[in-house]
Amino acid sequence: MKKRKVNNTLGIFRVLQYRGILREAKLSAIFLIYFIISFALFNLVFLLLNLDYYAGFYIAGIMKALLGGEVKTATVENKELAALQIGPSEIVFSSLCTGLLELSVLVSAIIASRGIKIKKRIIGVAFATLTVFVFNIMRIYITISFILSQNLNEAEILHNILFKSFLFVVIVGFYFLWFKWSTESEKRCKE
Closest CA to 169 of 102, 104, 101, 121: 102
In the chain, the percentage of residues whose pLDDT exceeds 70 is 86
| pLDDT at residue 1, as a whole number | 47
CA atoms 3, 26, 35, 176: torsion sign: negative
13 has pLDDT over 60? no
| pLDDT at residue 36, as a whole number | 97
20 has pLDDT over 80? no
pLDDT band at 8 (very low <50, low <70, confident <90, very high): low
| CA distances to 8, 9, 12, 14, 98 from 1, in Å | 11, 13, 17, 20, 62
Q: How confident is the model over 42-72, as pLDDT tens digits?
A: 999 999 998 988 999 999 999 999 999 899 9
Pick from 23-27, 32-36, 66-70, 156-160 the range whose average pLDDT is largest: 32-36
- State mean pLDDT over 88-116: 91
What are the residue boundaries of the structural domains of the chain, listed by start? 2-49+99-190
| pLDDT at residue 185, as a whole number | 62
pTM for the model stands at 0.80
Strands, sheet with 70-76, edge to edge from the N-terminal-most edge strand: 70-76, 79-86, 89-93
Q: How confident is the model over 159-184, as pLDDT tens digits?
A: 888 888 888 889 999 999 999 999 88
Q: Which long-range contacts (CB under 8 A, 24 or more apart) does 114-118 make?
A: 114/27, 114/30, 114/31, 114/34, 115/183, 115/186, 116/179, 116/182, 116/183, 116/186, 117/182, 117/186
114 has pLDDT over 90? no
pLDDT band at 149 (very low <50, low <70, confident <90, very high): confident
5 has pLDDT over 60? no
Q: How confident is the model over 129-147, as pLDDT tens digits?
A: 999 999 999 999 988 888 8
